[in-house]
Amino acid sequence: MINQFDHYLRSKAQFTDDELQQIHACSIPLNLRRRQLLLREGDVCRHKIFVLGGLLRTYRVRADGIESTMRFTIENGWSIDHESYVDQTPSNYRIEAMEESSVLLWTREAMDELFDEIPTFKLLSDRLREQSMNESLQRIFINISYTAEEKYDAFVNAFPDVFRRVPLHMVASYLGLSRETLSRVRHKHHRVG
């Protein structure tokens, strides 16, 4: 799996073997059970998380117990509660493994050290943060502008295999739809397709 991370990094920027070794030396490998939490609301997010294998879900629980899924992170993706991590404040979110998953973790201190010593890694992190912000803005636009059918199509294009990996109510939560509406849209889509 570490070779997978090397391949990922080298597909994004040019790193020397020594730099890759240094990045690995600061990482904490972790295998997660299905439904295991990496972050609980009220805890401070202390790690950046890279998914080697598996699927993570970032979500928030409202006062009435309803879950709002904010993000799915699949293989070769990063997960973090950015606000909690940067400000070192209690998180409002949970990050949970939706299936058995393998991840790499870096503490904030380790990341700061790596960014100081490997400028390419910092540039990559900055690009990924900008990309995440752009994706968040696009998601906001989709949520306020798209029909249920258009939301479904956008989700399927972004996450083609997530439907097979998570319960339907979590996808509905991500899309801001009821489970019934999502079921109707999927059924209509499969009849047409």
Q: Which CATH architecture has domain 2-145?
A: Sandwich (2.60)
Domain boundaries, the chain: 2-145, 146-193
pLDDT score at 166: 92
pLDDT score at 192: 59
Burial class (CB in 10 A: 0-12, 13-18, 19+), 53: middle
pLDDT score at 169: 93
The C-alpha atoms of residue 63 and residue 66 are separated, in whole angstroms, by 7
Distances (CA, A) of 15 to 5, 27, 96, 153, 163: 12, 16, 31, 37, 35
pLDDT score at 2: 59
Burial class (CB in 10 A: 0-12, 13-18, 19+), 156: middle
pLDDT score at 152: 93
Q: Which SS3 state, helix, strand or coil, does residue 118 take?
A: coil
pLDDT score at 193: 53
pLDDT score at 191: 66
Residue type, 30: L
Per-residue pLDDT of the chain (193 residues; tens, 9 = 90+): 558 899 999 999 999 999 999 999 999 999 999 999 999 999 999 999 999 999 999 999 999 999 999 999 999 999 999 999 999 999 999 999 999 999 999 999 999 999 999 999 999 999 999 999 999 999 999 999 999 999 999 999 888 888 889 999 999 999 999 999 999 998 887 765 5
pLDDT score at 188: 83
pLDDT score at 161: 84
